[in-house]
Structure 1
Amino acid sequence: MYKEIRKDLEDQGKLKRPPRIPHWGKAIKSLLVQKSKSEHPLAVSWLAKTAGINEKNLHNIIAGRVRDPSSDKLVRIADAFEISFSELAARAMAETPGNFFICGYGERAFIDYPQHGFTIQSLSPQSTSQRDFFFGKMTIKPFTQLKRWRFRENSSVAIFLETGTLEITYGDQRRNIHANESVYFDADVPHKIKSIDSIEAKLFIVTCPALF
């Protein structure tokens, strides 16, 4: 079921979400501040020397005059900061430096599965790295049994139940979760979720790594 949800969220996200533009300059300026051991940012000249990049070219990247730097330069910049290229890219894709994301209404995907008796809405932006998570809201119709679910290896799921009552079968265990309770488990173990109340179950779900 996770694969089906992932595909549907990705498909709807492509329709709703305008393409994100990486802001390499903002990411680099943020790192110059964060990696400094004093109250002053690290100098651009230090980064140019450490990364082996022409200082004038580096100033142009930071100022945004070069919007699409070569991957070779970006890898060398990441190495200079002792981070991976994927982390530098994640910072560059954020709306503001430091991986501070804002997910507006237009960026949320909403999927209705009437045949399965539940809906799911994404409340987080699409993931940019393996360290990201998915945050969403689900509703499950009264007395509805969902399919058996199983996520990828080394994955985790956290659920906070706002209303209703759930019966969660986890491996050979069976537990009831009531409103205002939360549960956390390794999602690579097969599990089932069932609404056992006469009112609709409303819950918030977090998966790590992200669903999409």
Structure 2
Amino acid sequence: MDSVLIGVGHCSAVTCLCHMNSALIGVGYCSDVTCLCHMDSALIGVGDCSDVTCLCRIDSVLIGVEYCSDATCLCHMNSVLIGVGYCRDVTCLCCMDSMLIGFGYCSDVTCLGHMDSVFIGVGYCSDATCLCHMDSVLIGVGYCSEVTCLCHMDSVIIGVGYCSDVTCLCRMDSVLIGFGDCSDVTCLCHMDPALIGVG
């Protein structure tokens, strides 16, 4: 599956990525206004999409993908971790080029990897390391304070800076994710500095 971009919009209720509580992200039954949607054949979505291009419900709390190849899917590592493809600890969400994020094999310095149940880091990093702004076009890794979060650098780039609790990841246009002031029904919301939910 070609899955390099994520969009947010309106999708059906029974197969969507949603926040189960303020701290956890899971897949299950959620309302139409709180899910990641399938935008077109090249985007990752949830809801009304084909078997090879959608996030599937594994159980009430885990995220997984059915009917996709090992190198191109999101799958559960265990009850608290998210991996990509054939779920090894080093398998990760990758930077495909300077501005896009996709799935596959990538080096430690160019990938989004799971750190533990609450932190997401980039590449090979410690549990306390989080997503940091590396330069104007790349996502890198560094040490960030608890109040530091993913921020909108411009319409196509995601970086790190200081953001208020109400600031959220949102759809800038039909294919790109940015960071800014968006309505609750179309954005990935910042739940606290370490956790991201959907709302």
Relative to its length, the structure with more strand (as a share) is: 2
Relative to its length, the structure with more helix (as a share) is: 1
Normalising TM by the smaller chain, what interval?
Answer: under 0.3
Q: Which has the larger radius of gyration?
A: 1
